[in-house]
Amino acid sequence: MLRAHKIRLYPNNVQSTYFARACGVARFAYNWGLSEWQRMYEAGEKVNDGILRKRLNAIKREEFPWMLEVTKCAPQQALINLGVAFGNFIRRVKQGETPGYPKFKRKGIRDSFYISNDQFQVIEDSVRIPKLGWVKMAESLRYNGKVVAATVSRRADKWYIAIQVEVEGTTKATTSSENQAVGVDFGISVLAMLSDGTRIAAPKATSRYAKQLRRLNQELSRREGAKKGERQSANFKKTKQKLARLYAKMAELRSDTSHKLTTNLTRDFTLIGIEDLDLQSMMEEGNLSRALADASLYELRRQLTYKAEANGARIVVADRYYPSSKRCSSCAVVKHTLSLSERSYHCDSCGFTCDRDLNAAINLKQYALAAIGDY
């Protein structure tokens, strides 16, 4: 099984310049490949990422000699990624969907480049990058196993390396008793309510930094050039960098919260009950869309899924029409109506009363136990 460890890098000025150049080479190769793909397709020629890689290798020494200044993996993997993008596009079209056509990459948007395992070396808290040398990392590699690949990326003005390692699978039992099971009700104000009563507060990064976001966006607007394409001032670039740092800080806050929550759940419990939320429909609600996006519920589900597999836990997903909130966790009677403003659940049949989210979490735990025959 593959695990990735993302570590911050501390490059000097020369190394930062190399990283930026390698990202530029990867971006150029992707855009060149996309342009060639479109041209060859319209001309009726056979085209795939393998053909494009051979063509680029044949011409880059004469037409793009600056590509040779960075690792050869950067442009090659960019074309492989292009092939994956077109593969996904074609697959979704055949399935009757309307996917977006692969787009050209822009400078400063998700800058990154790939390095294969034979092109770099990790020793303690340093990594050797081809044609560059040793770069300091914030910490040592966490996992033991075969190093498969690495991706160097930039967020705002910080550089990171995500190292993929092939590790052995866990042997933790996937059967569960009641005290090893948990139900988790995800939400907005309370990010996660566990069936044992534990509350995990939502980071609410957008509302926490709303004033700073508003101020920096206004400042950026004032400093922007009056004409399209006009050269931007140094102050505009400084403000843009400040805004990028703030967005990165918000993303790191969300990521830290979700990773800690999902890691603890999959390590502490062998059976986890959650519900299948219709996030797409929920996002269409104007008064909830921003809070839902800020909670990153899809990312929580994604992390929970792969970490459960890695740690030997089992995820049981209740159907999206399962009445986890309306069902009484004491007597199983289902209420006909329950408004979103009612934060306390009261059963008219047995008189049971508790927090609405806690009641839902207990129901999800019972659902998970019933699914494996232990309840």
Per-residue model confidence as pLDDT tens digits over 259-316: 999 999 999 898 999 888 877 777 676 667 777 788 888 888 899 998 888 888 899 9
pLDDT tens digit sequence for 128-145: 998 999 999 999 998 888
- DSSP codes, 289-310: HHHHHHHTHHHHHHHHHHHHHH
Q: In this predicted structure, what is the pLDDT of residue 326?
A: 85
Question: Helix 234-268 and helix 297-311: axis angle, to 10°?
Answer: 40
Query: What is the dihedral angle through the alpha carbons of 51, 57, 63, 69, rounded to the nearest 10 degrees?
Result: 140
Catalytic residue among 36, 49, 275, 294, which? Answer: 275
Which one from 36, 49, 294, 357 is the annotated catalytic residue? 357
Provide the percentage of residues in the chain whose pLDDT is more than 70. Answer: 93
Q: Is 49 marked active-site?
A: no
Q: Write down the mean pLDDT value for the chain.
A: 87
**Confidence class for position 375, pLDDT limits 50, 70, 90:** low
Mind listing the pLDDT tens digit for each residue in 45-96? 999 999 999 999 999 999 999 999 999 999 999 999 999 999 999 999 998 8
Look at residue 187 and tell me whether its pLDDT is greater than 90: no
Reduce the DSSP state of residue 194 to 3 states and report it.
strand
Query: What is the SS3 assignment for 218?
Result: helix
Task: Confirm whether 276 is a catalytic residue.
Answer: no
Given 185, 284, 294, 374, the catalytic residue: 185
For residues 173 and 64, what is the distance between their CA atoms, to the nearest angstrom?
Answer: 55
What the chain holds in terms of domains, given with CATH numbers, is 2-166 (no CATH), 178-371 (3.30.420)
Whether residue 357 lies in the annotated active site: yes
- CA 265 – CA 166 distance, rounded (Å): 23
131: phi then psi, degrees, rounded to nearest 5: 65, 20
DSSP classification of residue 222: H
